[in-house]
Amino acid sequence: MSRSNPPTPARRRLTTAISVCAATAMAASMALASAAPALAHTGHGDGGDAVPYGPASRAAKAPVTVDPAEAATLGEEHAEEHARTRKALADVGEYPQTTRTERLKSLTASQEKANASFDAAEFGRFREYFQSPDFAAHVALLPSGKVLLFSFERIEVNPQKEPAPTDTIGKQNAGRAWIWDPAKGTGAGAFTEKKPPVVNMPDGKNEPRPAPFFCAGHSFLPNGMLGVFGGNLGGNGGSGAKLSLVFDPWAEEWYLNKDMSVGRWYPSVVTGADGRQVIMSGQSELGWGTPTPVVERFPAADQPVPFDKSVKPIGWGVDKLKTEAPFKWDYPHLFSLRDGKIYGLGRSVDQQWLFDTAADTKTDLPDRPDVNKAKPGPDGGQWRRNYGSAVPLPAGFRGPDSVLVLGGDRNDPNTYRLAGGKWSTEKPRAFGRTQDDTLLLPNGNLLTVNGAFDIRDYGNGPYNPNADLKYRQVELRDENGDWKLGPVQRLPRGYHSNGVVLPDGRVMITGDELQQLANDPDITDNNNGSIEIYEPAYLHQGSRPSLGLIFNPSVGYNEKITVSTSTPSDVTRAVLLAPTTATHSVNTSQRHLELRIKSRSGNFLELQAPPSAAAAPPGYYMLFLLNEEGAPSTAGWVQLKPPAATAKGATGVEAKPGD
């Protein structure tokens, strides 16, 4: 072709595309030069290596609009890369890295200043703060001592917008999961990705993707595995998925089970005294405003309860109870108390029920006496508590017989106790807060972390990351029920925040994707989440007891637990603390039990296990030894299971002759 000939349409498209590519690369370099490493770009199919976590690659799962001219000239894949580059630039431009960096710098400085006056021996202290690859909208302390974090693949990096694909239908509506191993420290090597099973959601798109299990409910099975139920189908303001999965902490992999009978978005799950998981509430597959009254159970009655870690629930199903749970609002608090029954405490004052799953019945409980119960809700409808904490209070070796409900109302600092079927108003906290996470500590005291003004409104707009700094301050409740404010955490964490008591007695604090994005030190890398560690006062009060070997870590009820300790004279108490699995301020697994010290012989203690499964549902618990001041040892793990299960097959079914 003669050079004097005019360019053909294809040649004009190529020239334009090359110009766009050069301009995009230049713009990316200029826009991100002061914020992060240069934007990754592989060129025109030349096999060049891209920076693995550049903005384009991190936005690889977000929906983009491809320019048809670029696609015709450069190919669909390269044109899509251009589109993602433009989207990444737009995202960073909407909320620049400089703002994120300065926010985190300011919060770090204000935390240091505020905490200078707090004595660690009385109030505890914050120490470590480090990046995480997941937002941790859901969290679970596994009986391996590792922590499972799971949430969603974000569709936004601008914290003034919604990063979760709640209303997204298709492959961008996907889940993700990581494990943090505290024994490996706080660097990138301490995290391992554990991808959810790939599923083809019934959304008409035929686009398989990692299971979108965010906004699910979960609790532990007796063999230490985590059952996860529900999730996000996508669209209609929050549509429930029928997903049923199990995470195996021993093999560190996910198992997919048969679908539930109904979709659930924001359900609650609790493990009962029989070891089966009871699943309630959640918005159905029809979308927001359609909470399901159906109560389901896993495993179904025709499947044995799994007690042994070698039993892998794969392809198992649920069954339905005849009793219904018509909660008006999602994520009710569920607890199995010492009578073996399940208490369902809803967000509305009149949605309080007692469930007997063995008899398949439901009984009304009195209305909760909230001070604001006569007021309309924030949307003008019926008043309800927003997401707030509830904790089964310690009550000795027979297990909890009461629940303390707190938080969820920014205008009500009171705490409310349900005991013996009656409510009482207990001592208040310093102020009302929603989205808080209240944890049982090894010494039986309570610790509140996180909190906010409202769901996505911290007093500054529904998606604005600015927050009232008072919600960063932790609050502590002693054995007398008195509360006091303590030091402040680095980030204000509200919606989707979480807290976990670790086996070494420290407290891990994480969650709230908007705050994490707003304070990300490098929005272009793979670590958009963050974790901070609080050390309770008992870690700053001198020596701690030592727990050596647990000689029978799998034990039946009312049986003896023999342990060794190098500090026998320091040990005055022994307790079991159930591991946390939580989301949206709902933590159904918490439990604190005292163990009787039956005998002492040199460096050996003989402890007595809880009397029954009603006192402590079967499963894994942390065992702490404590001294007179309440300082705990590092925990060991004990599995409680019915005595018959130790003499029967791995699932608790009678072993046949010859087995």
Phi and psi angles of residue 111, each rounded to the nearest 5 degrees, phi first: -65, -45
Phi and psi angles of residue 304, each rounded to the nearest 5 degrees, phi first: -70, 155
At the topology level, CATH places domain 547-638 in: Immunoglobulin-like (2.60.40)
Residue 89 has pLDDT above 50, yes or no: yes
pLDDT value at position 451?
95
| pTM, rounded to two decimals | 0.85
pLDDT value at position 41?
27
pLDDT band at 464 (very low <50, low <70, confident <90, very high): confident
Question: How far is residue 263 from each of residues 169, 201, 255, 448, 659, measured CA to CA in Å?
Answer: 15, 12, 19, 32, 39
- Any residues with CB less than 8 A from the CB of 291 and at least 6 apart, and which? 281, 282, 283, 284, 326, 327, 328, 329, 330
Contact (CB, 8 A) for 516 and 136: no
Residue 433 has pLDDT above 90, yes or no: yes
- Other beta carbons within 10 angstroms of residue 321's beta carbon come to 19
Cα 120 from Cα 59, distance rounded (Å): 42
Cα 193 from Cα 142, distance rounded (Å): 15
Quick one: which of 277, 358, 303 has its CA closest to 619? Answer: 277
Report the range of poorest mean pLDDT among 168-172, 350-354, 469-473, 593-597.
Answer: 469-473
Residue 77 has pLDDT above 70, yes or no: yes
**Stretch 408-429: mean pLDDT:** 96
Tracing tokens 């919600």 back to the chain, one arrives at 471
Cα 125 from Cα 121, distance rounded (Å): 9
**Residues shown for the chain:** 659
pLDDT value at position 59?
39
**Stretch 155-169: mean pLDDT:** 94
Angle at 151 between CA 148 and CA 154, to 5 degrees: 140
pLDDT value at position 65?
83
Residue 469 has pLDDT above 90, yes or no: no
Cα 485 from Cα 533, distance rounded (Å): 17
Using a 10 angstrom Cβ sphere, with 0-12 exposed, 13-18 middle and 19 or more buried, the burial of residue 337 is buried
Letter for the amino acid at 215?
C
Cα 108 from Cα 489, distance rounded (Å): 9
Cα 455 from Cα 513, distance rounded (Å): 12
- C-alpha 76 chain-centroid distance: 38
What would the pLDDT profile of 608-638 be if each residue is shown by its tens digit?
999 999 999 999 999 999 999 999 999 999 9
pLDDT value at position 594?
98
**Class of the CATH domain delimited by 117-537:** mainly beta
Residue 28 has pLDDT above 70, yes or no: no
Cα 246 from Cα 253, distance rounded (Å): 8
What would the pLDDT profile of 559-587 be if each residue is shown by its tens digit?
999 999 999 999 999 999 999 999 999 99
What would the pLDDT profile of 218-237 be if each residue is shown by its tens digit?
999 999 999 999 999 999 99
**Stretch 22-31: mean pLDDT:** 38
**Stretch 155-175: mean pLDDT:** 95
Report the range of poorest mean pLDDT among 74-78, 260-264, 270-274, 343-347.
Answer: 74-78
pLDDT value at position 74?
74
Cα 565 from Cα 596, distance rounded (Å): 16
Return the domain boundaries, the chain.
67-93, 117-537, 547-638
What is the average pLDDT score of the chain? 88
Residue 654 has pLDDT above 90, yes or no: no
pLDDT value at position 454?
86
Residue 647 has pLDDT above 70, yes or no: no
Q: Any bridge partners for residue 600, and if so which?
A: 605
**Stretch 16-34: mean pLDDT:** 38
What would the pLDDT profile of 195-213 be if each residue is shown by its tens digit?
999 999 999 999 999 999 9
